[in-house]
Structure 1
Amino acid sequence: MEASTPLWVPIVVAAVGVSGTVAAAWLTQRASKKREDERWRREREVDEIRWQRQRADRLRELRIKLYVDMAEYSQNFEATLDAVTDELGNTKSKGPDDLIHHEKLTAQVKLLAPKAVRDAWYQLRRSEEDLRWELYEGDPNHTPQGSPYLDADSPFIIGIQRDLAELQFNLRAAMADPDLAE
């Protein structure tokens, strides 16, 4: 009596073995892909956080530089105002000394400054233009040397000084927290 295994049994066993191997490889590949996707997602999140932090730091640096430039400009304007209100002509107006042009500052203010600083800057610029008009087109008094001057007690000059003080106050507040957007 001969015991023989039917032919289909080894074929089924071989097929199960091959399919098991293929299924194991597929499952391993799938799990590996999931792990890799998760790792890439975490790396992207970390990169995004780092980029946001770098952008915030850069914006902070730009704002601080803008505030310093505006403070220098306002100090120069204050010196000009002192010279314009000196009826004896003893006070000399400071020159630009590498100051950023007011138009460039205005553009930076539009982009970077919070609303309070922006509004104070625009008001000071209007006052500065009014001062220039008053000096060169209006009817100013003249010093003994012939330079135009305006009375320091005039409401016009007091208003300009108020605008200047407002800008300086807002700049100090903005410098205290340069990350404040509005």
Structure 2
Amino acid sequence: MKKVSLFIILILGIVFITQAQTNKIPKQEIPADYGYIVKIGQQIPDIEMTLTDGTKITTADLKGKVTMLQFTASWCGVCRREMPHIEKEIWQKHKNNNDFALIGIDMDEPLETVKKFAKDMKITYPLALDPGGEIFYTFAAKGAGVTRNVIIDRSGKIVYMTRLFKEEEFNEMVEVIDLLLEKL
């Protein structure tokens, strides 16, 4: 009986922490021209991806983690400008936190191109392959531009989204990640 009570208290604590952190997140209006087909507050769609090292990751693997999905491509100039900031200001800060996941999702490029891209950009966070843009088009409309980030809370809800690399929006995204990872 004590184990059940302790379990219930633990679950309620996690719900309370998640709710308290989510309440601190700035309310965001996503402009229509961002081209998203997902919405703030929506559960992350079911996705499956393969990292460049062959590791498979599903939506279920991300449950309980604050997750950043970064959509990118080697030919994208804005992505190339943003990636060093992601590496330095987000990945290096949180890479050892088991409650955080960052995955760059490279749109429709072969494995060797994606590996070379990571090496050229000097990024150490994991990149996933997205043949045909299948994952990308689960989040964004056909014809929408690649440079974008989606932040997902521990419960699997989308809480913040960016488009292009705008310093103010990027800095706010960094704050959102930090808030979601706070221990209350």
Shorter-chain TM-score range: under 0.3
Of structures 1 and 2, the one with the larger relative CO (CA 8 A, separation 6+) is 2
Provide the TM-score with structure 1 as the length reference: 0.26
Higher strand share: 2
Higher helix share: 1
Provide the TM-score with structure 2 as the length reference: 0.26
- Bigger Rg over Cα: 1
